[in-house]
Structure 1
């Protein structure tokens, strides 16, 4: 049975209206476990798929998953979904009313209901979030140790500028030693840190806090994504992460027999990465004008030649699902490899920078000491 695209389109306005403002504590990274996070979604969809496959009704399956939840907020959320099912709403309609779920999940579940493949769709959503969580763990693992080194190094340099340099400065002032330019620069930097250090920390902390509000602004997200893409190595790594999500989403939608144009529209709503969204807007227009998907992708540098060639093969052999699954596997392998390489590269790079900074401070302090010793001698 083919799904009714018109039925989904009619509810699009309804879904677009459910975009409430999200507070800081309800973002992806939370401190009190109040978020229906991607890890919980992974378990939710996998368990739901297993129970439905076992022949349990959707209502009973939701109740069983609800009973397994320890977090009261998550238990309450699933309880509300169960009540919606009892009152006559479909799972997708209930999800569309909950801000914890995305449009992508809504459309995927709606397609599953229209095609009678809700069990397969829930399993695919579980696999999607499992892969997304794995990518996040790889990224966190790659950046944790370099972040610790950078933080420690920053504190060491700040300590030297705040406490050590002023001690040498007092000696130089008492002996009235003529200071080299590099020593004057370090002393001026030290005085700035002592005078305005707390102000700088306040500004940095303020920027971190206000970033959550600026993230809601379209112009800020565009600027942030453009800057990230241009950062050496990190930009390529982020691009591959999003291409991995793109290929996985297309594979999931292709398996559900969703038309290419509509798949592109759904992926745009799912992936919040401006360069990819901008490219997909143009791809969608090119497809509507009669061009193939591979031809449309080839007009954007974001998509690699390897992907374009394989998509062209998929179109000629009518094996889109298989090809996109293969692409997704390859990109996931690249994500794992680059995350390890990222950690390997950043660690010595940070140590090198810190070593240079500490060395410059020490040289700047000891140059006048050598001159002082020669005068006293």
Structure 2
């Protein structure tokens, strides 16, 4: 533990913890607009693993990867890394001085360099980011189509309230038809959109701006994660995504012979999901106090009985790496299944809800028409 100097690192991390949010499904950690985001990391580690296993020196491998880059920022990044290696720095030190890389990454690389297993560690890091990107794609695929349907349906309802309902309202006024309560309610909604629609749009834009402003605040991240966790089904789905990341990261670190307490501390640095981070903090305290890992996990609701039971087996048989790798695979499969089910469920639910709204609008407009036809008759 002293070798990693984690206590000081943890203190520094906590003082700067409000500097990251949308590093965040699945650090929610996919960084929008980052020149070296998770997809680039996946490609980088995969290519580097192939080159190192082929017997190419590290600095030459970095130079080859640099030659494959098309963007100037990425070329500069690899150029600086190559120059630092030539100057005598270790790969661990190079990554530590680059803000594009997390503590989790450069501590893993340090372990690989010290134990002579750098090619394997790099390969595992590539697999880690590959799986993380797959999980993010699963989440996006599950939500994209239903969200498109929802936005389209909302526009249809707004169009009916803003354009169709006023035409019926004029007819009813001209003929002096007595309106039922449901029709009055729909007309009131139409008038509200006509008079205050711009204010609603302004409020939505303001909420988006405020979310951007407060997204880096710890209290906002905590509240946002807790809100997501409480959403039916979606909360469980997002939690499964982060549990898959957690188990995969622990499997990688334990394979590198990192003590479990150190593994928990490192994983906590790269997963930006408050319910899991809170649980990991509790586990860290319990393990430090002498509790077993499975007993520490049992006191946190985010971990299910399956995981706790398998971790207990892992501790008793000294098969931590294998058990966590199996758990990671199981959660990855669970994420894929839940993403498909989420997409399957959301589409008909949205269609039914919007259909009810459209039906209510149509019925409320046609009820007075029956009275009008009787008057005319």
> Same fold judged by TM-score > 0.5?
yes
Counterpart in the other structure of 1:38: 38
**Structure-1 separation of matches of 2:230 and 2:149:** 24
Cα deviation for residue 112 of structure 1 reads 1.8
CA deviations 1:172-211 (Å, max 9, x no partner) are 1111222111111111111111122122122212322332
Counterpart in the other structure of 1:159: 159
**Structure-2 separation of matches of 1:186 and 1:294:** 57
Change (3 A) 1:7 1:288: closer
9, 12, 32: which one aligns with 2:9: 12
Change (3 A) 1:285 1:10: closer
Change (3 A) 1:45 1:14: farther
**Structure-1 separation of matches of 2:20 and 2:94:** 19
CA contact (8 A) 1:20 1:99 kept: no
CA contact (8 A) 1:8 1:107 kept: no
Counterpart in the other structure of 1:95: 95
Counterpart in the other structure of 1:79: 79
Counterpart in the other structure of 1:238: 238
**Structure-2 separation of matches of 1:18 and 1:109:** 23
**Structure-1 separation of matches of 2:327 and 2:34:** 35
Cα deviation for residue 34 of structure 1 reads 5.3
**Structure-2 separation of matches of 1:333 and 1:201:** 40
SS in structure 2 at match of 1:178? coil
Q: How many residues align?
A: 372
Change (3 A) 1:342 1:256: same
Counterpart in the other structure of 1:293: 293
The higher-RCO structure (CA 8 Å, 6+ apart) is 2
SS in structure 2 at match of 1:49? helix
Cα deviation for residue 285 of structure 1 reads 0.7
**Structure-1 separation of matches of 2:296 and 2:282:** 8
**Structure-2 separation of matches of 1:65 and 1:262:** 31
Counterpart in the other structure of 1:276: 276
CA contact (8 A) 1:15 1:103 kept: no
**Structure-1 separation of matches of 2:275 and 2:180:** 48
Change (3 A) 1:219 1:263: same
Counterpart in the other structure of 1:47: 47
Which structure 2 residues correspond to residues 1-377 of structure 1 after superposition, within 5 A?
5-9=2-6, 12=9, 16=13, 28=30, 30=32, 35-377=35-377
SS in structure 1 at match of 2:290? coil
SS in structure 1 at match of 2:341? helix
RMSD: 2.3
**Structure-2 separation of matches of 1:299 and 1:21:** 30
**Structure-2 separation of matches of 1:11 and 1:29:** 26
CA contact (8 A) 2:21 2:272 kept: no
**Structure-2 separation of matches of 1:287 and 1:372:** 77
Q: TM-score, normalised by structure 1?
A: 0.93
CA deviations 1:102-141 (Å, max 9, x no partner) are 2211221122222222211111110000000111111111
Change (3 A) 1:303 1:168: same
Deviates more, 1:166-175 or 1:243-252: 166-175
CA contact (8 A) 1:276 1:302 kept: yes
Structure 2: runs of 5 or more not aligned? none
CA contact (8 A) 2:31 2:38 kept: no
Cα deviation for residue 80 of structure 1 reads 1.4
CA deviations 1:280-332 (Å, max 9, x no partner) are 11111111111100011111111010001100000110000000001111111
Cα deviation for residue 250 of structure 1 reads 0.5
**Structure-1 separation of matches of 2:190 and 2:206:** 23
**Structure-2 separation of matches of 1:289 and 1:13:** 18
Q: TM-score, normalised by structure 2?
A: 0.93
Structure 1: runs of 5 or more not aligned? none
Change (3 A) 1:43 1:208: same
Cα deviation for residue 11 of structure 1 reads 7.4
CA contact (8 A) 2:18 2:216 kept: no
Cα deviation for residue 15 of structure 1 reads 7.1
